[in-house]
Amino acid sequence: MGIFDLMEEQGHEQLSFCYYKTANLKGIIAIHNTALGNAVGGCRLWHYKTEEEAIEDALELSRIMTYQSAISETDFGGGKIVLWHEGEERPDEAYFRALGRFIEGYKGKIITYPDLGTESLDMKYINRETKSVILHRLSPTESEESSELTALGVFWCMKACAKFLFGVSSLEGLTVAVQGVGSVGSRVVKHVMSENVKLIITDLNYDCLKRVQDQYQGVEIVSPDEILNLECDILSPCALGPIIGDHNIDKLKCKIIVGAAYNIFEKRRRHSQILYDKGILCAPDFVVNSAEMFLTEYALELLTKEEIEQALKKIYGIMGKVLALSKKEDISPYEAALKLAEERIRRVGQMKGILC
């Protein structure tokens, strides 16, 4: 498909290509929908195999940001900045300042922040050329605090799914399998273990596994390939996706899937439907990760730190609404979440036609 065909298919407003030869900057800025407000989205630096892969990632992730904002009842549009990095050395100050110049050209229509492959120092370089970047108001341990809030969002979604499927929101006695026990996954472990679950974990990093095993007795460790085939109540993917595709979807034996990973599926819509037909409840990733929007509100001084924790509890109710609609209309939770998000975008978008 051509670029305009892809944009039409997913409903994008704008796609820009940024090139600065001196620093070897190859960037893509995608804006999906700004009906709710100016776009926000992380800045991702990745070794994409092809130009097409980078474009597809920018389009897909910006679209998900639109729905994430809409479902969490925040007033942002969806955007994403994707940097196609081919070299071995990490990009320097000039690279990110050049990106800042391109972002400044949008005059506030998109605001960015660190994502996979970028960090706070990179944002400080960007900030020297534009104010359209978030320098988090969190403490010096901001990444740890961000991981904790993300893990809390996963935990509240788990409880909402357990309530829907088992009739009680407590996770006590359930078997929870966590794939990836790094910064976020280890904190998911902390929360689920507070409710006395049977825990199974996996990770490619031995040190991460050892830390969890040393902290909690009775933890079972399995190989990364094995965890998707285990019988468990909740599978929690907290590593880099996609992890579920045509090659393994029929092997899943879990009852619920709730994790911090984006892009759990190779094909979101199709694989979500397959799981729904199989009777496996899968929480949409853009609902689970709503904490990202509340962190953005905090960084922009729209929420206090105390209000973030209260906002996170809303995820339980949001997930409940998604599951109720899924049951009522006999559609997958993913389709239900899209429907709720698109309805809010439509209603608010109509209201903006009023002249003032």
Q: Specify whether the CB–CB gap between 126 and 99 falls below 8 A.
A: yes
Structure tokens at 115: 């994502």
Distance between CA 210 and CA 217 in Å, rounded? Answer: 11
Q: Specify whether the CB–CB gap between 206 and 263 falls below 8 A.
A: no
Active-site residue among 21, 49, 80, 305?
A: 80
Active site residue 124: no
Residue type (1 letter), 165 = L
What does the H/E/C string look like for the chain?
Answer: CCHHHHHHHHCCCEEEEEEEHHHCEEEEEEEEECCCCCEEEEEEEECCCCHHHHHHHHHHHHHHHHHHHHHCCCCCEEEEEEEECCCCCCCCHHHHHHHHHHHHCCCCCEEEEECCCCCHHHHHHHHCCCCCECCCCCCCCHHHHHHHHHHHHHHHHHHHHHHHHHCCCCCCCCEEEEECCCCCHHHHHHHHHCCCCEEEEECCCHHHHHHHHHHCCCCEECCCCCHHHCEEEEEEECCCCCCECCCCHHHCEEEEECCCCCCCECCHHHHHHHHHHHCCEECCHHHHCCHHHHHHHHHCCCCCHHHHHHHHHHHHHHHHHHHHHHHHHCCCHHHHHHHHHHHHHHHHHHHCCCCC
Closest to 222 measured CA to CA, from 198, 241, 249: 198
Structure tokens at 299: 């960084």
Please identify every residue annotated as catalytic: 80
